[in-house]
A and B are shown apart, each in its own frame.
Chain A
Amino acid sequence: MTDLPGAEAGAEDLVRAAPTAPLGPRSGDGRRRLRDALMAYLFLLPALVTFAVFAYYPLYRLFWYATHRQPRFRNRPPTYVGFSQLWDSLTSRDFAQGLLHSATFMLYTVPLGLVLGVVLAVAAHRRLRGIKVFQTIFSSTVATSVAVASVVFFTLVNPEVGYFRNVTWLSLNDPTSAMFAVSLSSVWQNLGLTFIVVLAALQAVPEELNEAALLDGFGPVRRFFRVTVPLISPALLFLAIVLVIHALQAYAQIEILTGGGPAGSTETLLYKIADPKNIRSLDLKAGLSIGLFVLTGLVAFVQYTLLSRRVHYGD
């Protein structure tokens, strides 16, 4: 921009002229508006259809099942019994126990997974010869399916022949340690994702900022917490949400490692809903699903509102 008087006067003229200029299609042109609207809905249609088929309709059916009693004999139609049945499901022992197990699983996997991922990423974020080998090894679990990873982990903790069969705090036979063993396998499986995301975030932090912090006199620990962590906080928030959702959705590792046992001690809410042994009624499972749905939404909402205040999204 120049500051020649002529140039400024020109700019002011433009601003003054603006309100009289047309601001879009005339409002009187109704047919055109209708056509535009139809066109817009046409473009929205594929997304709407997908959501309707895979989300809205199943959600509706969920409520339908939760409020209808399944007949004892299959040749009779289900009968409407109202929301008291849903209330019964949500206050049942199954829901409370499943919730407790899910929460335990979350508490074991999310903080540990996040911290381990950050530690590994910080360790691998160096310009050292051969560091790429470590970066590849650390991120390898991303390319491993949950089933495969769980089977591999099972060979380690198998109570009969596993390498760690004598390690009591990893025992799958003990109700007090089984959940931790399953969690540990999840932490390991999610580590690749956490590692990659944190490493990418670290690499995006400008080197000059670290140098400025070094010259300012911040030691390595304060440099990390005062400069690095705030700058990678969006990645950390993203990971926290993803890991919580992973925890709430964990199924395969539980099925493969413990099958929900011993004595139901690893039956998370989702596991009870999936109910591979088919021991619960459909209306109870529908009720539990609604509970899990509300819970997941709540967790995501709380994380966004609480954490986003402390997250820095760059300038």
Chain B
Amino acid sequence: MERRAFVKSGALALVTMGLSPTFLRRTAFGMELFNAPKGKVLICLFQRGAADALNIVVPHGEKAYYAMRPSIAIPQPSRNAIGGAIDLDGFFGLHPALAPLKPLYDRKLLAAVHAVGSPSTTRSHFDAQDYMETGTPDNKGTADGWLNRYLAVKGTCDECNLAKTPFRAVSMTPQTPRILEGTSATVAMNSLDEFSVRATGSSAERLEALYRTGSADLVHGTGAEMFDAVKMLRAANPQKYLPQNGADYPRSQFGLRLLQIAQLIKANVGLEIAFADVGGWDTHVNQGSSTGQLAQRLDDFSRSIAALVTDLGDKMDDVVILTMSEFGRMARENGNRGTDHGHAGALFVIGGHVKGGKVHGRWPGLEQEQLFEGRDLALTTDFRSVFAEVVSDHLGARALDRIFPGFAAAPRDFLGLV
């Protein structure tokens, strides 16, 4: 369907703003659009489907790892053989498909955290994703996501003046993810071609409110300028956007979404929180080893992230990229050269001020008695501890007890990631 036929065209918006086509072109090519004060940015990337942490940050120094994964283990690092893990510290290594992330590790921009996850023992994708997004494991009654609570708690910060921009929190997803649900206004868009605003209020009233005022806000409200900006970005054809510093995004959905996040950051529209997700991690069958199914997912994942970091260049000083997945997978491979649902996992924290070049967290070991319930990687770091450290030390949030209710986030327990 030709949706654009019915929406105000970019050209029209251009006229209403009285801006020149040169300006439009500058925007499309990644120039600054507005002079919103430069703030910190957090980009959260969710790997939906439970990514196999043990084949992502590979414990190649662990004998039990090779015993439990006869057909899918990543071989030990080796100069001569291809397909081995990329050594990080003599014990851990990256999956070979994560090679694009290795330079970031070497430049100390990238930190890994292992044996991290939810204290909940659920192995349900849907519950575990819910817990990771609400930030309240084993409590299904939580109505809002922790990123939205962060927005609410930080509130209208005078110095940064960010609450005025509708692009303070943007999700590059068709629907608002649970992590951004809540009272603070957020934007969800499949792409810059299709943006949407989540109205606040009770669900019973939301539909009518969206039709009546939500849409009116969109054109006449405080965010009018910003929406016009996005309309221009869209009309200017994001395909023509030129990434900087030779960044090369994969032409995948995930790659294109990260490209558009970079575009928003560079357009200076006041973006503080960005979110994107990527599926395909539920590898029950033939997940592969150095190559294969998981390797393909990781290839897209790492090339997209590396391109984003390259593209943002110096701006990475103000940016943290935080990856997450609902849980890890079984330590042992299953009957189909795949892995079933497990417990603790691994994540990456990437940014200019990240204490990178290190695998953080206490390693619990993979011997039988060290495994959780005798089958999964045990948990040594609560994911809330990592998330709390990032919002506190990177974004400057206080009142962590309101962002992560029921969790005593003590800075002395932080891993020292940022």
Q: Do A and B assemble together? A: no
Q: Which residues of A contact B (CB under 8 A)?
A: none
B contact residues vs A (CB 8 Å cutoff): none
